[in-house]
Chains A and B, each alone.
Chain A
Amino acid sequence: MDFITFENVEREYCIGSSVIKAVDGINFKLQKGTFNVVLGQSGAGKTTLLNLLGGMDSPTSGRIIVNSKEISGMSEYDLTEYRRTQIGFVFQFYNLVPNLTALENVQLAEEICPEPLDARDMLKRVGLGSRMDNFPSQLSGGEQQRVSIARALAKNPQIVLCDEPTGALDSETGRKVLRLIREVSDDLGKTVIVVTHNASISEMAHTVLHMRDGKIARVQCNDNLKDVGEIVW
């Protein structure tokens, strides 16, 4: 059974009088519990794809089916519910609430999700057991991203979406963060989709979607996954 299905998905934006097709007839299927990468140059349409999958945007045409439910065409309210219960989001710039401590940033998931995971456990898991009461500004970039990962996973979502999660980090930290995403989501059986322009990450993914000009240029399936440590950046 396919967990995520995109059928002829198009997304057009009107900028002034010109119409731009950010996503132009995309078809793909992803399996539950896999680690996937969407690869492409900037402007290739990968963020739009992520937004569509994350329920932040709706396609102009085509169907998106997640966990046997069609999310294309859902109302604003249902999309919010979908994001709330099904999606964990890891941002490029972490997007932690500056006014909340690390622990509280993770706890906010508890308040909105039906079956949240324990916030303290999640922070311990990402290696921040001793920094729970620190505010984001007192943490390094890598640490902040780990809080963000803990927050995404504490919601206990089906899907974890990561938008350039290493984009703002140095390579060593980036590697650690990726390994963490990989390990934790494997443990919890989450489906992960990472959007990046860093081709080297693709070697650790089950499926790699290569995007160019709003289309999927190539779908690459890896049978032998490399460990993060083996990847050369």
Chain B
Amino acid sequence: MVRGSLFIKSLRDMRKSKAQFISIFIMATLAVFIMTGLDSIWFTVEKHADAMYRSANMSDLWVTVPNPSEQMVWGISKLDGVKLAEKRFTADADTALPGSPTLHVYALDGRSTLDQPEIHEGKFSKSGGAVLDISFAKAHNLKTGDYISIKLNSRWLRLKIDGLALSGEHVFAVKNSASLAPNHSEYGFIIINTDALKSIYGQKIYNQISVKTLPGSDIPQLVQKVGAVVGNNLIGITLQKDNGSVSSVNSRIQQFRTLSVVFPILFLLVTALITQSTMVRMIENQRSQIGILKALGYSKRSILWHYTSYGVMVGVLGSVLGLLTGPNIFGRIMVRQLNLTLNSYSLKINYLHFVFVLILILICTGGVSFLACRKLLSDAPAFLLRDKPPKSGQHIFLESISSVWEKMKFSSKLIARNMVKNKGRLIMSTIGVMGCTGVIISALTVRSTLSGISDYTYGTTFTFNQKIVLDTSKVNSTYLKNLELDGITQQIEETAVQVIFPDGSYKMELTNITTKESPLIYLQDIDGNPVSIPENGVLMTRKLCKEKGLKKGDIIQIKIKDKGYAAVPIEEIAYIASGQGIYMTDTYWESLGETFKPSALLVRWNGEPDQKFLDRDIVSDSATRESMQDGLSSSLGVVNLAVLFLIVLGSSLAFVVLYNTGMLNYVERVRDLATFRVLGFHNREIQYLVLIENYFSVLLGMLSGIPVGRFISWLIASTIDERLDLLGNIKLMDVLIAGAMTALFAWIVNKVIAHKMKELDIFEALKSVE
């Protein structure tokens, strides 16, 4: 029975201070929601992607080399730390489907074991048939048993679709670094048997060596040794982590990992502060009750548990609700939005982090109540039953400036004193508002920087109105020069070049080789000054330089076809918003011993596009600047959604915090306020006394939220995507919008509290002090 009546008491107590309990409950829910939600996003992606890499038996590095010899493969496989080396062929191929989409072809030997497709339908027969990308098949309504034609080496190859599959190399499937979002109707993969290449090339043909390493081997050292084995034929070595899909997936994981640290910390900080102070306050208000229970003869333990259970119950309930909703709402929606092709989207929850947060919340609720209660319990019941000595007023600093203090009205004095007295609470709500403003500012900033990215890229940097992709086997630079198209043209070769950085790391970098004049690509440095492509060195984009710790004048080594490496100086650094890499002039490229083979022609037409030219067979594809800009913008939709989520969560947090502190400020001063009513203060005047404090913390919080927003923006900007160079500068407009939103929330909260305050019972003033 003892427990029974105490339990009923705790339920009734909770009902009595339901506002506080509900706000603690909501805060616990929000904190766990955002934590588990964000966590589940990267955790789910990481787990499923890893599983796919494992089941595909994905290589650890790919060595691109034309026609690798058997000795070469054998030599690599005998290197220390290498488990297995196999040859394969890979290339992009056109298809005869509407819209002429591109398929990335992988040709594997019948006995190959590395980089296998994950078959979901049909089979991989390895005898003439093909396995097609399941998403691509869906987009084009293709089934097993259908036929598909691909064009390799200018010849068509008709293949029967034996199976549909996923590939670990196509989890994030984009055609090239210019496209930011996968489009399954435009790009996919197809896996065929190397025997099928005979009809095209007259023999089996290979251009890549897939290498599986032993766990724990020294990859950088291995890369060097592999380079030595391959010699001058080497085109480049790609590490697994540098594979387009793998690195995109990793950058998504990294991005949400960062977010799932930053935002939960912000939320937990506020939640911890608010819950612990609310709990302490509530326990202290139960002072005489504790005295009564103790006097009645309840054991210390049952009283302690009674009060601890308040916080534990609310904390556990809130956390569980957060755990149920966070991954399922936030996680589920966001994982879908990431546009990844995984073999499963079932959500994985990082229970370790959940338990950590739960413990933290329980410390802030139950733990704090336990300590507060134990402190009170150490006093004698008789002492507890006596009135608590009223909290004394305090002289404050402002009074020492008597010229100011004397002129202040009593209400301002009261507000000033009250704020000093409750500075803890003021700080809390300030932090709450700071978090809210910070989240909103950063969310808006990320949004506007991202839309700025496409504006900058296709408004400032690229000034062509059509990019024409050429069939490189049919054109050369001189031919293009003599075309006499009606408009300004610029030839460009886009290729990937193996680079050795001063720190010894190898990477295939996107390299643009173009003419010195560069009329249609306008490069600027970070401050907006024009930068031209140097004649005796290369230009590198700012983000890449930062990543590798490079500055003007540093030397990098680039692989020259059929030769060794050439040392080239970085002569210029330019800011490129989207698409990081290296720029150099055609003459410099040729001075290194290469040939300039333009892969695309940029054109700004004087009038209508020359349709006759576009229909010629040397043109393999073309895109307008508008369509490229649209593609870039729409790929950023996922960010807008995340932004919306964060704004909603940040605002709810601010709501709860302001409501909680506002209510506390009211509830604790009911007697004073009722006295004011008796003395003839109007409701409005009393509301002012209570609520003006909220506006103070809103103002302070908004101001301190600006640097927080800046920090978060910077953090997101620097982790969001390695191909994008976001500056994360906050705009005045975004700050103003965030400020206006926060102020609006504060106003709404104050309206709600003001409404509550109308219920103020004037007779509270006449009651004896409890």
Contacts and interface: CB of A to CB of B under 8 A. Distances in A.
Are the chains A and B members of one assembly? Answer: yes
Contacts of B418: 99
Given A104-B413, A137-B393, A99 B421 contact: yes
Nearest to A50: B766
Interface string B331-344: 00000000000000
Contacts, number: 93
Contact of B768 (A93, A136, A151): A93
A51 B392 contact: no
A135 B680 contact: no
Contacts of B678: 54, 56, 83, 89, 91, 95
Interface in B366-401: 389-395
A56 B607 CA distance: 84
Contacts of B410: 100, 104, 107-108, 110-111
Residue among A51, A98, A109, A137 with max Cβ neighbours from chain B (10 Å): A98
Contact of A155 (B671, B679, B762): B679
Contacts of A83: 678-680
A91 B675 contact: yes
Interface string B61-86: 00000000000000000000000000
A85 B680 contact: yes
B409 A87 contact: no
A150 to B, nearest CB: 13
Nearest to A161: B678
B763 interface: yes
A108 B681 CA distance: 10
Given A81-B680, A83-B679, A137 B390 contact: yes
Interface string B680-703: 111101000000000000000000
Contacts of A137: 389-393
Contacts of B414: 97, 99-100, 104, 108
A109 B679 contact: yes
A109 B680 CA distance: 9
Nearest to B764: A95
A138 B679 CA distance: 23
B417 A99 contact: yes
Contacts of A145: none
Contacts of B766: 47, 51, 91-92, 163
Contacts of A155: 679-680
Nearest to A103: B410
Residue among A81, A97, A104, A163 with max Cβ neighbours from chain B (10 Å): A97
B177 interface: no
A90 to B, nearest CB: 11
Given A47-B766, A99-B421, A110-B410, A87 B671 contact: no
B392 A98 contact: yes
Contacts of A113: 680
Contacts of B417: 99-100
Interface residues of B, number: 32
Contacts of B681: 80, 84, 112
A101 interface: yes
B763 A87 contact: no
Contacts of A104: 410, 413-414
A56 B680 contact: no
A112 B672 contact: no
B390 to A, nearest CB: 5
Contacts of B394: 135
A233 interface: no
Nearest to A87: B680
B567 to A, nearest CB: 75
B769 interface: yes
Given A83-B679, A136-B390, A95 B765 contact: yes
Contacts of B391: 98, 137
A133 B399 CA distance: 11
A135 B679 contact: no
Contacts of B675: 91, 95, 97
Interface in A24-61: 47, 51, 54, 56
Nearest to A88: B679
B411 interface: yes
Residue among B394, B411, B765 with max Cβ neighbours from chain A (10 Å): B765
Contact of B411 (A82, A92, A111): A111
A74 to B, nearest CB: 13
Nearest to B769: A93
B413 A100 contact: yes
Contact of A89 (B392, B395, B409, B679): B679
Contacts of B421: 99
B409 A97 contact: no
Nearest to B673: A97
Nearest to B671: A95
Nearest to A167: B768
A77 B681 CA distance: 10
B393 A101 contact: yes
A6 B392 CA distance: 42
B393 A135 contact: yes
Contacts of B409: 111
Interface string B402-434: 000000011101100110010000000000000
Nearest to A54: B678
A164 to B, nearest CB: 9
Interface string A111-135: 1110000000000000000000101
A158 to B, nearest CB: 13
Contacts of B413: 100, 104
A80 B393 contact: no
Contact of A108 (B390, B677, B679): B679
B426 to A, nearest CB: 14
A135 B392 contact: yes
B693 to A, nearest CB: 12
Contacts of A81: 680
Nearest to B768: A93
Contacts of A151: 679
A167 to B, nearest CB: 9
Contacts of B683: 80
Contact of B393 (A47, A54, A100): A100
Contact of A77 (B392, B677, B682, B768): B682
Contacts of A135: 392-394
A101 to B, nearest CB: 7
Nearest to B678: A89
A110 B390 CA distance: 26
Contacts of A111: 409-411
Nearest to B412: A111
Nearest to B396: A99
Residue among B410, B413, B677, B769 with max Cβ neighbours from chain A (10 Å): B410
Contacts of A163: 766
B392 A56 contact: no
A92 B766 CA distance: 7
B296 to A, nearest CB: 27
B682 A80 contact: yes
Residue among B393, B682, B765 with max Cβ neighbours from chain A (10 Å): B393
Contacts of A133: 395
A42 to B, nearest CB: 12
A30 B641 CA distance: 73
Contacts of A107: 410
A97 B668 CA distance: 12
A84 B679 contact: yes
A43 to B, nearest CB: 15
A163 B410 CA distance: 25
Nearest to A56: B762
8 contacts: A56-B763, A84-B680, A95-B678, A99-B393, A99-B414, A112-B679, A136-B393, A138-B392
Given A98-B672, A100-B414, A137-B392, 10 more contacts: A51-B763, A80-B682, A85-B680, A91-B766, A98-B390, A99-B393, A99-B672, A100-B417, A133-B395, A137-B390
Interface of B: 389-395, 409-411, 413-414, 417-418, 421, 671-672, 675, 677-683, 685, 762-763, 765-766, 768-769
**What 6 A-B pairs are tightest by C-beta distance, nearest first?**
A84-B680, A135-B393, A83-B680, A137-B392, A95-B675, A108-B410
